[in-house]
Amino acid sequence: MTCRGRLGGPRDCRGPQKGGTTDLVDNTQLLKELEPVVAQNLDRHFAAAKEWMPHEYVPWSDGRNFALLDGEPWTVEQSTLSAVARTALEVNLLTEDNLPSYHREVDRAFGRESAWGVWVNRWTAEEGRHAFCIRDYLLVTRGVDPEELERARMETMQTGFDSGDKPLLHVCAYVSFQELATRVSHRNTGKVTEDPVAERLLTRVAKDENLHMIFYRNLVQAALELQPNETMRAITDEVVGFEMPGAIIPGFTRKSVQIAKAGIYDLRIHHDDVVMPLLRQWRIFELEGLDAEGEKARQELATALEALDATASRFVEQRAEAEAKRAARAASRA
């Protein structure tokens, strides 16, 4: 399995592919065994999730017509956002836009029966409002180029998201990391907008992502008790092969570099604020009783984490050096 760039790059690291009757039987059995955990976490989720109204977060009075309705076409001067804030908001929005693909994936993995089906629909309904309100905000504030955004949306959704039919445990591990990564990304994007309205909106969206992360994190916790070796393998594969769901967005590699340089989402954040907190919560390195396969997976994970940590440190050093050089050039010009 090759993976050129964990947070961007081509989609060539989808984890192991499984199929066939045995896996289907295993999957059905595991879905059944985890169902009480899903039901319990649904109750917890419904109690924790506060109702909120996306329309309340949008500054509607800032809006005006575009050219077709005799208004003004968009120009970049109308946006109060910095270039990197525009990029980050576009990437976040296009990622959220691709919900039909994600729904297809979780529906395939979790099914429509029992508490699993209730969760799939509830999660989809909550995710749906994220794109609506971010788009509304960007259109009324003229934050980004609406034509470029629409073309990118069409392209992204036509490409679709495809996990490569990951097995159930891999899906649970992936979405745990992905929900936390999305939470961090929305939160940090909010900060760079330097607009309190955008920050409040993205903080609200990030709260949803946090609850989603807790739901999936608890499922993985339960899976570690039921099938520790297989779950360890799934976690390792998903850490090693992780890529953001937005990796199919046009120009994602270039945009993710911009986002990383601005410290919105980079390898340091990915290691420190996404991967490690979940591994600590699951007590991955304290787990006892793994068989040879489970230990092998854990060892692979430890090696991958070391490499990720080293790459993250190198990236941060290089970014600091580049910033220092830029500052020195600016000072000498002044």
| Residues found near Fe ion in the complex (CB under 5 A) | 96, 127, 130, 179, 209, 212
Closer residue to Fe ion (CB): 96 or 237: 96
Task: Report the nearest approach of Fe ion to the CB of residue 177 (Å).
Answer: 12
Nearer to Fe ion, 201 or 304 (CB): 201
Give percent helix, percent strand, percent coil of the chain, each to the nearest 5. 75, 0, 25
Cα gap 137→131, rounded to integer Å: 10
Secondary structure (DSSP) of 152-220: HHHHHHHH-----S--HHHHHHHHHHHHHHHHHHHHHHHHHHT-HHHHHHHHHHHHHHHHHHHHHHHHH
Q: How far apart are CA 112 and CA 121, in angstroms?
A: 9
Residue 331 in contact with residue 29, Cβ under 8 Å?
no
Burial-class residue 128 by CB neighbours within 10 Å (0-12, 13-18, 19+): middle
Closest to Fe ion by CB, 73 or 277: 277
Tokens read off for 37: 């955990």
d(CA 100, CA 117): 16
Beta carbon of residue 79, minimum distance to Fe ion (angstroms, whole number): 23
> What is the smallest separation between the CB atom of 310 and Fe ion, expressed in angstroms?
30
Complex with Fe ion: residue 212 or 255, whichever CB lies closer: 212
State the minimum distance, in angstroms, from the CB of residue 201 to Fe ion: 12
Q: Nearest approach, Cβ of 259 to Fe ion (angstroms)? A: 17
Q: How far is the CB of 212 from Fe ion (least distance, A)?
A: 4
Q: Which is nearer to Fe ion, 97 or 179 (CB)?
A: 179
Q: Residue 130 in contact with residue 205, Cβ under 8 Å?
A: yes
Cβ 104 vs Cβ 190: under 8 Å:
no
Q: Which is nearer to Fe ion, 130 or 204 (CB)?
A: 130
Residue given tokens 């290691």 in the structure block: 271
